[in-house]
Amino acid sequence: MKNTFAYTYNKSLKAAMAGLLVIGMSAASCSKFTELAPQNAMPPDITFSDSSNIEVAMNGVYNAAAIGSYEGSYTAGRGYPFGAASIEQGEMRGEDMVNLATFYDVTYRANISPTSANNVNMWVNLYALVNQANTFIEGVRNAAAKGIISAGKAAQLEGEARFLRALAHHEAVINFSRPYADGNGSQVGVPYRDMPVNTPEQIQAAMKVGRGTVAQDYTKILADLDFAEANLPATPKVNAIARAGKGAAIAIKMRVKQHMGDWPGVITEGAKLGTDKAADFSSPVNGYKLLPSPDEAFVKFDNNGESIFSIAHTAATNPGNNAALAYMLGPADIGGRSLVAISPVLYNAEFWVNDDLRRSLLTIKQLSGTTKFVYTYKYRDFVNKSDWAPIIRYAEVLLNAAEAYARTGNNAQAFLLLNAVRNRSLPADSKSRFTVPPADLVLAVLNERRIEFLAEGRRWPDIHRLALDPKYSTGGIPAKVLLSDLKADGSDYNITTRPKVEPSLVSFEYKSFKFLWPLPATEISSNPTLRDAQNPGY
């Protein structure tokens, strides 16, 4: 009898060796990976027998994070798990952007099923990335044992792979599991897979890995990030923003501890990156700092001092328009597809002040057609499709620390950090600048996040972690504006009159099964350990 678990597990988790070198060299001719040893994969004994091959293989792991596969094909990438698809779905699960087409309609309406492409491909590609990372870790450990590379080099490369493994598992948790705040991490988590799955024996071992708890996932995520911090250089020598360094590991640890509600932990990690200063915030690690203009990190997406870690995209490695951020998020009259607009509910919000430079520099209004709405202008390479996907910037480090300080009673430091980000986007003579802390400093920080990280996929993670917050929760999946709620001439977008647009798409309470995505039907049917572990309601 055919081992259906091997088939599915291999298909969903295993672009490993084929991806390591084939993708690393930008060859996008990979077939569906349903065999244990894909014909176009370079065998591990060759890949890890030469130091230069190992470096190329590391590039392949990063590329898997950027493009992934769609329906098993690497020639039709959609930007799973950390490209365009990830960012769009992070926004489409929230309410600050409006879905205008069918591309992510099921995500926007929370009509996900165990067979719908959006969530299935996210799961498939997250675990394909995990398996590439695990295969790479095993390979570099063996290479170091044989003297092919030094122990120090192996530890650095393993640190990069474990960073990506942690990033992938955390993304899985916030989409497929309840937040840490629900029962202090006692809710069911996701399988934390830390072994490669490339042989029948490894598949049998992997079959025994269950979902565990959210707390167990976070323990392992932090362990991977601690290892990465200890072994990664402060300044990556190659592609500094697109390769994980010590600062990236620390910054993601801040994010993870934020999701756990570990505010002292956020403060401790942030201090390593300079958030405990009284002014002129910059990181002792690699010198990260806010850039003078809020658009600079996007204009110079591949070489700037604010981006701590991004996923690189190029014309060569992006196999189609559907994985391109500008194409998917931009307006049609300048080369995009007008698929996703900024919601007028956010655009007209009182807390987004009129003279904020992020309006003029990072949004753009479509002037023609039937969707004359406001769109993001963070991604603008419509020709080469080369915009990098931002994962974490120094602005987030500052705001993460600001929230932590505010929640632990140090309003003075929280106010300094909030103003550093907010005032960067306001003219020097702006009357909108805070001169005294707002009455609700935490709310001010959360509102600032909605503006600063708009169209970067950070809205759903905030909704998820705050779901049970007694004061700042949305209560679940918030109500959303539909295309039919908007006037085609774009008059709903007006910061003078700030018209109220009532969302007609209903909200879903936190307790609704729709708050979580279901595990793919193929995973449930093929994996005996997960057969009875589907999220309730599906």
Asked whether residue 42 is domain-assigned, the answer is yes
The mean per-residue pLDDT over the stretch 161-168 comes to: 98
Q: Please state the φ and ψ torsions of residue 480, each to the nearest 5 degrees.
A: -135, 155
Classify residue 350 by burial, with Cβ atoms within 10 Å: 0-12, 13-18, 19+: exposed
Tokens of 375: 């769109």
Exposed/middle/buried for residue 42 (C-beta within 10 Å: 0-12, 13-18, 19+): buried
Look at the block and give the residue holding tokens 């994996």: 527
Asked whether residue 339 is assigned to any structural domain, the reply reads no
Q: Where are the alpha helices (DSSP H) in 177-213?
A: 200-206
- Show the tokens assigned to 498: 């700030």
Residue 360, domain member (yes or no): no
Q: What's the confidence (pLDDT) of residue 320? A: 66
pLDDT for res 322: 80
Residue 538 lies in a domain: no
CA distance 149 to 160: 16
Helix, strand, coil shares of the chain, percent, nearest 5, are: 45, 5, 50
Average model confidence (pLDDT) across the chain: 90
User: Which residue matches tokens 């350990």?
Assistant: 529
DSSP characters over 234-257: SS-SSSTTTS--HHHHHHHHHHHH
State how far the Cα of 333 lies from the Cα of 327, in Å rounded to an integer.
11
Q: Which of 12-16, 58-62, 66-70, 407-411 has the highest mean pLDDT?
A: 407-411
Q: How many CA atoms lie within 13 A of 78 on its CB side?
A: 22
Question: pLDDT value at position 78?
Answer: 79
Q: Give the per-residue pLDDT at 18.
A: 37
Residues 293-341: tens digit of each pLDDT: 999 999 999 999 999 999 998 877 666 678 889 999 999 999 999 999 9
Task: Give the pLDDT mean for 386-408.
Answer: 97
Distance CA 275, CA 308 (A): 15
In a domain, 493, yes or no: yes
Would you say residue 506 has pLDDT above 90? yes
Residue 255 binned pLDDT confidence (cut-offs 50, 70, 90): very high
Tell me how many domains the chain contains. Answer: 1
The answer to the question of residue 361 being in a domain is no
Could you count the other beta carbons within 10 Å of the beta carbon of residue 421? 24
User: Which CATH number do you get for residue 178?
Assistant: 1.25.40.390
| DSSP state letters, 497-526 | T-------BPPEETTSGGGSPPPPHHHHHH
Q: Comparing 37 with 63, which gets the higher pLDDT? A: 63
d(CA 409, CA 115): 46
- Whether residue 296 lies inside any domain: the answer is yes
* pLDDT at 76 (0 to 100): 64
CA distance 280 to 265: 22
Q: What confidence tens digit (pLDDT) does each residue in 38-51 have?
A: 334 566 678 899 99
Residue 524 pLDDT exceeds 50 = yes
Q: Is residue 368 part of a domain?
A: no
Which pTM does this prediction carry? Answer: 0.92
What number of other Cβ atoms are within 10 A of residue 466's Cβ? 18
Backbone angles phi, psi at 141, to 5 degrees: -65, -45
- What is the tens place of the pLDDT at every residue in 342-396? 999 999 999 999 999 999 999 999 999 999 999 999 999 999 889 999 999 999 9
- φ and ψ at 340, to 5 degrees? -140, 125
Look at the block and give the residue holding tokens 């900024």: 342
| pLDDT tens figures, 448-487 | 999 999 999 999 999 999 999 999 999 999 999 999 999 9
pLDDT class of 215 with cuts at 50, 70, 90: very high
Tokens of residue 323, six digits? 């994985």
C-beta of residue 408 within 8 angstroms of C-beta of residue 263: yes
pLDDT of residue 42: 61
pLDDT of residue 75: 60
Which residues, including other chains, have CB under 8 Å from residue 332's CB and lie 6 or more apart?
338, 366, 368, 369, 371
Mean pLDDT throughout 25-34?
28
Give the structural domain span for 167: 4-317+388-530
